[in-house]
Structure 1
Amino acid sequence: MRIGLITTDPAHPVLAAVTALLTAAGHRVDHLDPEGPEGHRVGHLGPEGPGGHRGDHLDPEGPHGHWGDHLDPDGHRVGHLDLEGPHGHRDDHAGPDGAVSGPDRGGLADVYLLKARTPRALALAARLEAYGVPVLNSAAATARCQDRVAMAELARTAGLPFAATRAVDTIGELAAAGEPAGPLVVKSRYSRRGDLVARADTVADLRELAAGWPGEPVVVQEFTANSGWDHKLWVVDGQLFAGLRRSELAPDGRGPTRPLSPGELPAGWAELALRTGAAFGLEVYGVDVLRGPDGPVVVDVNAFPGIRGQAGAPEALADLALRTARTAATAPTARTAPTARTAATAAIARTVPTTHTAPAAQETKAWRRKSG
C-alpha cells in the first residue's frame, strides 16, 4: 500500500513512528507538503529521513504548476502529482469511452493522513477526496475544528458539555466594554499552531492582550474553576488514549504531559470522547476536558493532534490507514474529474482565513502485512 502524509513536518514523532511501522512492513510512505515556498517545496522521507526509512516525495504544486517525473539527488525517479496541471489546467485522462477520470491514479497514494490543518492543506485534501482518494481525517471534519465558534455550536447542538463560547471581533472591542464580570479565557477564533489562549481577569489584562494581538478575531469563554490540569483525551479509530497536562492557564504555566490510563478517567468520560468524535465526523482527534464543579467541560476539539508518547497510538494509526486504503481499493466508485476549484474545496477554503495578525472493523496489526 501507498500512504501519503499531508504535513509540513514528516519528522513529527507520531508520523515518524507510523512511517517506520509501514515502511518496515514493505509499504510506501509519501510526504506531501502543502506549505512550501510558492507551494512547491518537496519533503523527502529518504535514507536520511526519520528513522532512516526510505519514502518518496510528492510536490503539491510542481514548478510553475507542471507535473512530471524527475530524478532526486540519489538518482531515483520521483513522480510528481499535479492536481491542477500547467497554468491551472487539470492533467485529466480520457478513458476508452471518452470519459474524463482525473489524474493518473498511479500518481496518488491509496490513503492520505491529513496532519496539516492550514487552509491550503484543507483545500488540497478536499481536492484529493474529489478524485475519490480517502483522507484521514476528511477535509470537512478537519475544517469543523478550525473555527472555534462553529466548533462550539456543533458540540452544544450535539448535546456535548462544551464551554459557552462567544465571538468578538477584536480584543480591543472586549477591553472597551470595561471590567469583565469574572475571569475570562480568550482564544484565537481560528485554531492554529501558536494561536492565542490566555486568561484575563481584568480590563488591564485585556488591554495588554489587545496590544500584543491587534486585529486578532477571538472567542471568549468564562473561566471554569478547575484543578489546573487539562485532561487530554486522544482517540484513534475508536481506541482511547489519555494524559494529564498542566494547563497553560495555570499560574506556573504549561508543564509536561503525565501518562494517564483510560481506566483512571471519571465515569462517562471515555463515552464523552467517543461521542465527540461522532459529532464531528473525526477518526483521529483530541478532546480537551476540564473537571468542572458540575462535571466535565469540553474546551477544545483538535483534528489529528500530536498524540505524543502514547504507546499503541502509532500502531492504531497505521492499522486505520491500511484498512481505509484496502476498503477504498475494493469499493466500487465512479471517479469523476472535479472542476478546477470544487464546491467542497471552495467551502473549506472559506472556513478559515488565509492569514491572521499574530505574534511570533478492525484488522489486528494490519500494518505488519505487506500489501500492494
Structure 2
Amino acid sequence: MRIGLITPEPGHPLLAGAAALLAPEHVVEALDPTPPGNAPVPVPRRPADVYLLKSGTRHAVGLARELERRGAAVVNSAAATALCQDRTEMAGLALRAGLPFAATRTVGPLAAWASGARLTAPVVVKSRRNRKGDLVARADDDAALRELARVWPREPVVVQEYAPNSGWDHKLWAIGDQVFAARRRSELSPGGRGPDLPLALDDLPSGWAGLVREVGTVFALDVYGVDVIDTGGGTPLIVDVNAFPGVRGQSGAPAALAALTLRRAQGRRP
C-alpha cells in the first residue's frame, strides 16, 4: 500500500512516528505542497492509496482536492481542512450545530474596525484565517485595541467576547475515535503560554470527551484539535477547532494515526 504525507515537514514527530510504524509493510512518500517560485504543485500521475493532509495552506488544500478528484482518500478531506482555516465559517457551523462555541463576530481589517470601536468589556481578537503565527490576543480597552491595530493594521479579524476562566486552556485532540488531552496556561494569561501538561481522560469534566467526538462529526474531521476553556463548574466553551494539529508528546498518538491511515486506505471510516 502507498501512503502519502502532504506536508513541508515530514519529520514532524507525529508523522514521523506513524510513518515508522507503517514503513515495514507499506511505502510512505512525502509530498511537499510548497511550490517553488509560486508554481503549481505537480500532482503525482499515480496517486497513493491515502494521503495525510498535514498542511492548511492554499496550495496544500488545492493539491488535496485534485488528489480526491482522482480517487485518493485524504485525511482530513480538503473541504474539512479549508473550513477550519476560516474562523468565520468555523464558528457559524459550530453554532448552527448547537455546539458550545464562543460567539464570534467578523469585523474585517483590524485597523478599520478599531478606529470606530469602543470597548465596554474585554475581547479576544483573532485572525480570521487560522494559521501558524496568526493573531490571537486579548484587548481590555480601546488603547490595547489600537496597539493591536498598529501592529496588524490590514489583518482580517474576528472578535469574541472574553469569557472569564481559570487561565488554563484544555487542549483536546482526536485521532479517529481516540481522544487525547493536555492542559497549558492560556496564551491570553499574564504570564503567557506555557508547556502542554498531559492530562488523563478520567480527569476531564464529565462529557468533554464526548463533546470532542461530536465536533469531529459536525466538522467531518478524522484528526483534529479542539481548544476548550472551563467557564466554571466544568462548563465547556469551545474557542477553536484545528485540522490535523501536532498532538505532540501524547503516548499512543502515532500508533492511532497509523491505524487510522490503514482504515481510511481500505475505505472504512473509524
TMscore range, shorter length:
over 0.9
204-213 or 165-174, larger mean C-alpha shift: 165-174
- 2:13 aligns with 13
The structural deviation recorded for 1:293 is: 3.4
SS of 1:4's partner is strand
Aligned residues of 1:172 and 1:206 also touching (Cα < 8 A) = no
- Residue 101 of structure 2 corresponds to 162
Identical aligned pairs, as a percentage? 57
Indicate yes or no: 2:171 matched with 1:172: no
- How far apart, CA to CA, are the structure 2 residues paired with 1:205 and 1:188? 16
**Aligned mates of 1:118, 1:250 — CA distance in 2:** 29
> Paired residue for 1:29?
28
Residue 31 of structure 1: CA displacement?
A: 0.6
The alpha-carbon deviation at position 20 of structure 1 amounts to 1.2
Report what 1:306 is aligned to: 246
SS of match in other structure, 2:210: helix
Residue 256 (structure 2) pairs with residue 316 (structure 1): yes
Residue pair 1:2, 1:30 contacting (<8 A) in 2 also:
yes
Q: CA deviation at 1:174?
A: 3.0
Instruction: State the alpha-carbon separation in 1 of the partners of residues 117 and 135 from structure 2.
Output: 21
Q: Which runs of 5+ in 1 are unaligned?
A: 41-58, 62-80, 83-102, 329-360, 363-372
8 Å contact kept, 2:77–2:221: yes
Indicate conservation of the 8 Å contact 1:174/1:206, yes or no.
Answer: no
Question: 1:153 offset after TM fit, Å?
Answer: 0.6
- C-alpha contact (below 8 Å) 2:41/2:59 kept by paired residues: no
How far apart are 1:276 and its partner, in Å? 0.5
Q: Which residue of 2 aligns with 1:51?
A: none
Structure 1 counterpart of 2:155: 216
Alignment check: 8 A CA contact 1:2 1:27 kept = yes
Q: Is the 8 A contact 1:32 1:60 kept in 2?
A: no
Residue by residue over 1:95-138, the C-alpha shift from the partner in whole angstroms, topping out at 9 and shown as x without a partner, is xxxxxxxx4xxx22110000010111111101100011000000
Written as runs of structure 1 = structure 2, the 5 A alignment for 1:174-189 is 174-189=113-128
Q: Which residue of 2 aligns with 1:89?
A: none
Report the number of matched residues.
269
Q: TM-score, normalised by structure 1?
A: 0.70
- Letter of the 2:242 counterpart: N
SS in 2 for 1:327: coil
SS class of match (1:34): coil
Q: RMSD between aligned alpha carbons?
A: 1.6
The aligned amino acid for 1:123 is G
Q: How does 1:216-365 map to 2 (within 5 A)?
A: 216-293=155-232, 295-327=235-267
**1:140-155, aligned counterparts within 5 Å?**
140-155=79-94
Cα drift, residue 165 of structure 1: 0.1
Alignment gaps of 5+ in structure 2: none
Cα drift, residue 39 of structure 1: 5.3
If each structure's strand is expressed as a fraction of its own residues, which one has the higher value? 2
Amino acid at match of 2:141: T
Give the C-alpha shift of residue 319 in structure 1: 0.4
Compared with structure 1, are the counterparts of its residues 39 and 5 closer, same or farther at alpha carbon in structure 2 (3 Å cutoff)?
farther
Higher-Rg structure is 1
The SS at the match of 1:207 is helix
Verify: 1:120 aligned to 2:59, yes or no: yes
Choose from 123, 136, 148 the match for 1:197. 136
- The offset of 1:36, in angstroms, is 3.6
Instruction: Judge conservation of contact 2:47–2:70 (CA < 8 Å) in 1.
Output: no
Structure 1 residue 321 displacement after superposition: 0.6
Partners of 1:302 and 1:240 in 2: how far apart?
14
Aligned to 1:46: none
Task: Provide the rounded CA distance (Å) in 1 between the counterparts of 2:117 and 2:60.
Answer: 39
